[in-house]
Amino acid sequence: MRRPRRRASAPAWLALAISSLIGAAAPGPSYAADADTIARGKYLAIASDCTACHTLPGSKPMAGGLPIETPIGAIIATNITPSKTAGIGDYTLEQFSAALRKGIRRDGQMLYPAMPYTAYAKLSDEDVAALYAYFMNSVEPVDQKPVETKLPLPFNIRLSMAAWNLLFLDGKPFTPDASQSAEWNRGAYLVRGPAHCGACHTPRNLLMAEQASKELAGGDVGFWNAPNVTSDANSGIGGWSIDELVAYMRDGHAAAKAQAGGPMAEAVENSLRFLTDPDLRAIAIYLKSTPAIHDPADTRPAYMWGGPFDDLASIRGVPLPRDRDSWSGAQIYDAHCATCHQDKGQGSFDGKLPSLLHNTALGTTNTNNVVAVILQGLHRQPDVLMPAFADALSDKQVATLGAYLIENFGNPAAKVTVDQVKTIRAGAVATNSNLVLIAQAATVAVPLIVIALLLIWISRRRGRRQDASGS
C-alpha cells in the first residue's frame, strides 16, 4: 500500500474561493464564512456527532475532557473550540482537514483512531470547509486545556499510528457509485463518513481496526453490544422497513422492533434525531443494501422472539421470601418491571413504555445490553427515562430477572450469568492488561527477534563466504 505522503492541501479552486471570501490570502488562519456555510457546518457537526466525545456532559460544548475508555487505557478527547491557547484557534483549514481526515494534529503528532478519522476521511472538501467555518465562527472558545492522554508503552508512541494508518487508513474521500441512486449515495456517504456507524457497528481486528469485509456486522462498545445492521433478514435489519429504520433513528424507537439504549441512545439524542428526513431515509436505504452478513446461530430475526406470558397470576397471594436473592423471576418482574412493561410484557397502549415482546433487546444472544439497561436505566432526551435498578436489585436478582425475561419474552438460547452482571455493574471496561502486556512484550521481543534474525543472517553469510572463500 502506498504511503499517504501527500499533505492535505485544498484544491486550488477552493483556496481561491475562500480567499475571495475573505479578501486576501492572509498568513494566519482565516475564518470568515457566510451564514449558510456555517449552518451547513453545524448540521455536519451534528451528523458527525463531534459532541459525543468532545463535550464533557454538563460542560461547555466541544471543550474536550471526556475520557474514552479503550482496552488499552483512557483516551481523553481534546478541546476543539477555536481557543488559541487550548483549542484549535490557530488551525488553518488545511490543518483542520488533516486532523479530521488523516489523524494528524497541527503539531504533526498523530491522533489515536478513537477519533474516527478513518471515517471522516470520506468527508468531501466542501463539507470539511463548512465544518471548519462552523467551528471557527459558531463555537465558543474555551481557554481550558483538558488533561493529556497518557497510555502505557508502547501505545504512547503516537508515531506508531503511522504504521497503523499505513495498514488501515483509506485516505480517499467518498466517491459516488454511478450505478446507484443519488439517495443511496447520500446514505453511503453519511454512513461511512460523518455518521461513522462502523465505528461501533463494525467488528474490529486484533489491531483494533474495523474489518472492512464485515462492514456493519456488529461490534462492542465497552460492554454494550452494537448489533449487526447489515441487510441480513435474521442477523441484521433485513426485516425492517425503511419507515421503521427512520423512526428508530429519529425517535429512538420503532414499534415492535427496538429502542435505542446506552451509547445508541446518545447517538440518537445528540445526532440522529436532528438529521433531515431525506438524510435518514438515505441512511436506511443504504443499510438495507449492505451485503448481508449472517450468523448461522440466528434462526429468526431478533424482534421475532417472545409471546405474551402471564406468570403473574401464579404468584398472586404468594408471600415474598424475606431474602431477596430467593425471589423468583416472576416476583422480581412483578415488583419492578411490570408497572411500566405491563403484566404480559406487552407495554403501554401508546407503545411509549415499550413492549418486551418482539423487542430486539431481548431477542439477541448477546445479553450484555439487557443487563446494562437493567442496571443503568435508559435516558434519552427529550423525555425517555427508565430508572436504574442497580440499587434496587442484587447481582443474583438481576441474573434471575434477566433469565426470566429472556426465557419468556426473548430468545431462549441467550443466557445471563451472575458474573456477567458483576462485571457490567463494575462499570467501564477495565484496561485490558493482557493486551498491554502483549504489546509491551512485543515491543521488546520484536526488535530482539529482528536483531537475532539479522545476526543469524549475517553469520550465515559469513559462513557461506567462508565456505566460498575458505577451504
Partner 1 sequence: MERRHSRPPLPTLRPDASPDPLRRALLVGFGATYVLSLVPFAWAQAVPDAAMAPFMALSAVLVGRPSLDPAQAKRLYDALAANDPGFPAAAKQLLDTVEQRKIDPMQLQQTLNDENSPLKDLPRQVVTAWFLGIVGSGKNARCVAFETALNAQVVADILKPPTYAYGAYGSWTRNPAEGPDHG
Partner 2 sequence: MADILSADYIVVGSGIIGSLVARKLALAGASVIILEAGPRVTRGELVARFRNSPRRSDWMSPYPPADWAPHPIYQPADNGYLIQAGPYPYPAEYIRQVGGTTWHWAAQAWRNLPNDFRIKSLYGVGVDWPIGYEDLEPFYQEAEEIMGVSGAPNTGSPRAKPFPMEPVAEPYAMRRLRERLASDFPVVANTTARNSRPYDGRPACVGNNSCQPICPVDAQYHGGLSADAAEAAGVQLIANANVYKLEHDESGKVTAALYYDPDKSSHRITGKTFVVAANGIESPRLLLLSTSDKFPKGLANNFDMVGRHLMDHPSTSLTFDADEDVWLGRGPQSPSSINTLRDGPFRSEHAPYRLDFTNISRVDGSTKSLIAAGVFGPELEKRLRHSAAREMNVKNVLEVLPNPDHRITLSSEKDAMGIPKPETHYSIEDYTRRGAERSQQDFRRIAELMGGTNLRFSKDGDFANNQHICGTLSMGSDPKISVCDEWGRTHDHENLYLAGTGVLPTSATCNSTENALAVALRAVTHMLAQQGATSAPPPRDADERVPS
The distance of closest approach from Cβ of residue 334 to partner 1 in the complex, given in angstroms and rounded to an integer, is: 10
Say which entry of partner 1, partner 2, none residue 379 contacts (CB below 5 to 8 A, set by partner kind): partner 2
Return the residue of 225, 290, 331, 411 that touches partner 2, per CB under 8 A.
331
Say which entry of partner 1, partner 2, none residue 1 contacts (CB below 5 to 8 A, set by partner kind): none
The distance of closest approach from Cβ of residue 408 to partner 2 in the complex, given in angstroms and rounded to an integer, is: 18
The alpha-helical segments, DSSP class H, found in 27-116 are 35-48, 50-54, 93-102
Return the residue of 23, 206, 316, 323 that touches partner 2, per CB under 8 A.
316
Does residue 57 belong to the site contacting partner 2 (CB under 8 A)? yes
- Residues within window 372-391 making contact with partner 1, judged by CB under 8 A: 383
Whether residue 135 contacts residue 37, with contact meaning beta carbons closer than 8 Å, is answered with: no
Helix, strand, coil percentages (3-state) for the chain, rounded to 5, are 45, 5, 50
Element (H, E) at 379: strand 378-380
Closest to 221 (Cα-Cα) out of 417, 365, 368:
368
- Residues within window 284-313 making contact with partner 1, judged by CB under 8 A: 310, 312-313
- The residue range among 101-109, 185-193, 237-245, 379-387 that interacts with partner 2, by the rule CB under 8 A, is 379-387
The distance of closest approach from Cβ of residue 392 to partner 2 in the complex, given in angstroms and rounded to an integer, is: 6
Report DSSP letters for 266-291, one per residue.
Answer: HHHHHTGGGS-HHHHHHHHHHHTTSP
Residues 144, 83: Cα–Cα separation, whole Å: 8
Does residue 349 belong to the site contacting partner 1 (CB under 8 A)? yes
Q: How far is CA 345 from CA 73, 308, 317, 416, in A?
A: 40, 6, 21, 19
- Region label for 134, one of left (φ > 0), alpha (ψ between -120 and 50) or beta (otherwise): alpha
- The residue range among 71-79, 276-284, 381-389, 456-464 that interacts with partner 2, by the rule CB under 8 A, is 381-389
| Closer by beta carbon to partner 2, 296 or else 319 | 319
Residues 308, 42: Cα–Cα separation, whole Å: 45
Could you give the maximum distance between any two Cα atoms of the chain, in Å?
A: 101
Return the residue of 320, 390, 403, 418 that touches partner 2, per CB under 8 A.
320
| Closer by beta carbon to partner 1, 296 or else 317 | 317
Say which entry of partner 1, partner 2, none residue 342 contacts (CB below 5 to 8 A, set by partner kind): partner 1
Say which entry of partner 2, partner 1, none residue 313 contacts (CB below 5 to 8 A, set by partner kind): partner 1
Does residue 61 belong to the site contacting partner 1 (CB under 8 A)? no
Does residue 385 belong to the site contacting partner 2 (CB under 8 A)? yes
Residues 110, 108: Cα–Cα separation, whole Å: 6
Does residue 27 belong to the site contacting partner 2 (CB under 8 A)? no
**Binding residues for partner 1, total number by CB under 8 A:** 19
DSSP secondary structure code for residue 74 in this structure: E
CA angle 205, 207, 213 (to 5 degrees): 30
Question: Cα-atom radius of gyration of the chain, to the nearest Å?
Answer: 26
- Residues within window 203-232 making contact with partner 2, judged by CB under 8 A: none
DSSP secondary structure code for residue 429 in this structure: P
- Residues within window 386-425 making contact with partner 2, judged by CB under 8 A: 386-387, 392
Say which entry of partner 1, partner 2, none residue 392 contacts (CB below 5 to 8 A, set by partner kind): partner 2
Closest to 99 (Cα-Cα) out of 138, 131, 63:
131
Return the residue of 71, 173, 351, 377 that touches partner 1, per CB under 8 A.
351
Site string for partner 2, 346-365 (x = CB under 8 A): --x----x------------
Does residue 346 belong to the site contacting partner 1 (CB under 8 A)? no
| Closer by beta carbon to partner 1, 385 or else 449 | 385
Say which entry of partner 2, partner 1, none residue 28 contacts (CB below 5 to 8 A, set by partner kind): none
Residues 446, 426: Cα–Cα separation, whole Å: 35
Q: Angle, nearest 10°, between helix axes 242-251 and 262-270?
A: 90
| Closer by beta carbon to partner 2, 178 or else 313 | 313
Residues 63, 146: Cα–Cα separation, whole Å: 8
Q: How far is CA 296 from CA 10, 257, 258, in A?
A: 47, 21, 22
What is the binding site for partner 2 (CB under 8 A)?
A: 57-58, 312, 315-320, 331-332, 334-336, 339-340, 348, 353, 379, 383, 385-387, 392
**Footprint on this chain of partner 1 (rule: CB under 8 A):** 255, 310, 312-314, 316-317, 338-340, 342-343, 348-353, 383
